[in-house]
Amino acid sequence: MNYWLVKSEPDTYGWHHFMEQGRAVWDGVRNYQARNNLRLMQVGDQVLFYHSVTNPAVVGLATVVRESYPDPTALDEPVVANAATRPTPWVVVELEPVMALEKPVTLARIKAEPMLATVALIKQSRLSVMPIKPDEFELILAMGQHAAKSEDR
DNA sequence: GCCAACGTTGGC
DNA sequence: GCCAACGTTGGC
């Protein structure tokens, strides 16, 4: 099993919206590195759901329920002239929520944790779909389940 | 609202 | 193939 982190702006598509829908087609990714990561996702992989821009934090856990297929929202775009023979290069996966974290793991806490200094979230702040190492994943999840810490929010 | 970092585009 | 200009993302 692999572990990932996906970003979404809460004002555009937040965790609560995701929970209400119960399932999301993760479309609109238009970055090759992020696309490559989508292609590697397998059913059952665990996905951290991160809110960017507004109160940046990991807020929930999701899982992959359908592997990558061509992004239907890309078909209208003038990406490829010969669309008849060459499909869009962009893909989607489908995700379902597993649980909300008891306490959001803020970007500030992630940055303050030495063991998380190498996560792509920090090193490559603009990447919207990134792999997470198992140890890092477990730590972030644990940080989100410990209601004790009082220093933030 | 500002700005730094990054990715993409297009001229040469 | 290089690089400047430009657009976008995302933290603060």
Estimate in Å the CA A73 to C1' C4 gap, whole number.
32
- From the list A2, A3, A28, the residue with the least C-alpha distance to A13 is A28
Amino acid (1-letter code) at residue A20 = E
- Looking at residues A20-39, what average pLDDT do you find? 95
Estimate in Å the CA A52 to C1' C5 gap, whole number.
27
Write out which nucleotides of chain B lie closer than 7 A to a protein Cβ.
5-8
User: Are residues A56 and A107 in contact, defined by beta-carbon separation less than 8 angstroms?
Assistant: yes
Q: Is A69 helix (H, G, I), strand (E, B) or coil?
A: strand
pLDDT in tens, A33-86: 999 999 999 999 999 999 999 999 999 999 999 999 999 988 666 554 444 556
Write out which nucleotides of chain C lie closer than 7 A to a protein Cβ.
8-12
